[in-house]
Amino acid sequence: MARPSERILVTGASGFTGRHLCDRLRASGHRVFGLTQEPASGPDHWRADLSDPAALAAIVRDAAPAAVVHLAAISHPRHADTAGIYRTNLVGTLTLLEALARAARKPDRVLLASTATVYADPGAEPITESSALAPTTHYAVSKLAMEEMAKLFAAQLPLVIVRPFNYTGPGQHEPFVVPKIVRHFAERAAVIELGNLDVVRDFQDVRTVADIYARLLAVPGVAGRTFNICSGRGVSVRAIVDTLAELTGHRIEVRINPEFVRASDPARFVGAPAALAAAVGSLSAIPFATTLADMLAEYPRTATARP
């Protein structure tokens, strides 16, 4: 497990989650090495493709990480390049794990980010780590395949798999629904087109998720386990709209666009965080209204957030 001032490698370091996690780890005194597809932003960052075994082997050798957090992925479920989803999420992870397994100094912990969308529609029941699995998109299938493939490295690497539910926060951009709604309120738009307003999802703040990941690198006894990253509380799209209306003092006309209504989407998708809390301790979650207010603050010229 990672201790203070350890060397930690984060893939997808320039992404939405990666930026927050790197900030969190540096604040704890770790030296963070970032792997991105963007131009290197500093001496501890590398630009590399997950499909390049030689490049990954060299990065692992030079970083010599005590821990690895693998976030790099094609994360939008309806990404246009279906083959690319599997190349990145499955084959790219395989290439990384092979490099780590062959390293002279193997990491003490490897955290792999999967997704809660590997689960079946649970109806009204909270989803536990033992709930039925039934992915319905190529993204979710690629992540479940990644989990199964990673098990083949369990004897060589101390793996922890996380299945995050929905999360959002400062820095997230469209096409995800929460930043779309936030932007419309920040710009004081008259109309917004959305899908089903009454679907309920388990939303967390990305900064809470980053804190959980950092804790999972530090606590003992979690290697070989899988954890839901969730709050256990559901929030509807309608409630998000209502909260933003209260924060901004602006009312917006919501029009339902049938193209945004997906019959396959579960009405309620909420996780059970008991196993996670038992492993990392109590979770100091950021209130969702605070998350939305902080996202509004990214539009300082047009948003009029009120306390």
Which residues does 78 contact at the CB level (< 8 Å), separation at least 6? 137, 139
Structure tokens at 296: 């509004």
Structure tokens at 305: 């957030």
Residues tagged active-site: 139
Preceding omega of 175 cis (within 30 degrees of 0) = yes
Quickly count: other Cβ atoms within 10 Å of residue 245's Cβ.
13
Structure tokens at 219: 């606590």
**Backbone angles phi and psi of 22, in degrees to 5:** -60, -40
| Structural class in CATH, domain 7-168+205-229 | alpha beta
Query: What are the residue ranges spanned by the domains of the chain?
Result: 7-168+205-229
pTM for this prediction? 0.93
Report the candidate in 29, 34, 31, 55 with the shortest Cα–Cα distance to residue 45.
34
pLDDT tens track, the chain, 307 positions? 556 679 999 999 999 999 999 999 999 999 999 999 877 667 799 998 898 999 999 999 999 999 999 999 987 656 578 999 999 999 999 999 999 999 999 999 999 999 999 999 887 679 999 999 999 999 999 999 999 999 999 999 999 999 999 999 999 999 899 999 999 999 999 999 999 999 999 999 999 999 999 999 999 999 999 999 999 999 999 999 999 999 999 999 999 999 998 877 899 999 999 999 999 998 778 999 999 999 999 987 544 433 3
Quickly count: other Cβ atoms within 10 Å of residue 151's Cβ.
11
CA geometry: angle at 35 spanning 163 and 23, to 5°? 70
